Amino acid sequence: TWDAFQVLLSALYSHFASARNIIVERRKFVTRVQGLGETVLEYLGALRRLASFCDYGESLESRVAEMFISGIHSTEVQDRLIRESDRANSPSLERAVQLAQQFERTSRDCDLFRRLSDRVSNASHMVERIQDGRSFQPLSDQHAQDGEASSSRRTQHPPPPRRERPSPPPPSLSGRELRPSPPFFRRRSLPRGARARSSCDFCFFCGRKSHARQDCPASGATCFSCGRAGHFANVCRSRPRGDHYQQQLTFPVGRRGSVRT
């Protein structure tokens, strides 16, 4: 029966209480507060276990009620219970537990409501971004992707190489620098009265196939037509039309052979 169980329970409490220090156990009881994340019923059970070793006797329930009100985590419950108490009587343990459970359920429902509201807000924001033609993604992911895109652009497009100044041409044997000379050869029609030649490039100083200026046989020669130096009569531009030019035989010093035109 229930009475026999209570007698057995009291005997067990008395047996184990004799081996404990009442001062230490009461200190544990009065310093016990509700932990973070601990429910109301869990806190009540912890207080009852500690009070069973404090030897309070008939005042056990009132002691547990006092510690429950002073150690509960919710200040709203404390304020409500203090307002309900009068000078003679304090709220019972049953009333304190009932009110604490109501506030606990209300707080849990409010947290759930806020989480659902945040989800709805995020969903509506995502719909707006999709309607605007933009994909939804967190701000931190956008910064990360922007950083990756900028780094990939830097990798794909390296800076242009530095332009170096062209090195000067090597000095000639006489110690003077070589300067680029104007082109001596170009493709053009033969002068009037000259023998027809092929359409290939030719030297307009001697009329032969193109070659270097220093190898031209007309270098230093005097033209029979105009009397100027540096070209043969067969390519002379000042010669009148219809004149037959003579065979150019004047060569610069040191050259051998003859030229037939």
pLDDT tens-digit profile of 117-174? 777 666 666 666 666 665 545 545 555 555 665 555 555 555 666 666 666 655 554 4
pLDDT tens-digit profile of 208-238? 887 877 788 888 788 888 888 888 888 887 7
Instruction: Provide the mean pLDDT of the chain.
Output: 72
**Using 50, 70 and 90 to split pLDDT, how confident is the model at 197?**
very low
Question: How high is the pLDDT of residue 222?
Answer: 84
> pLDDT higher for 123 or 10?
10
Q: Which residue spans within the chain are E strands per DSSP?
A: 185-186, 202-203
* CA-wise closest residue to 52 among 78, 82, 22, 77: 22
**Using 50, 70 and 90 to split pLDDT, how confident is the model at 21?**
confident
**Using 50, 70 and 90 to split pLDDT, how confident is the model at 196?**
very low
The token pair at 238 is: 């000042």
Give SS3 for 203: strand
**Using 50, 70 and 90 to split pLDDT, how confident is the model at 41?**
very high
| pLDDT > 60? residue 74 | yes
Cα–Cα distance, 172 to 183 (Å, whole number): 20
The token pair at 31 is: 């310093």
**Largest Cα span, the chain:** 156
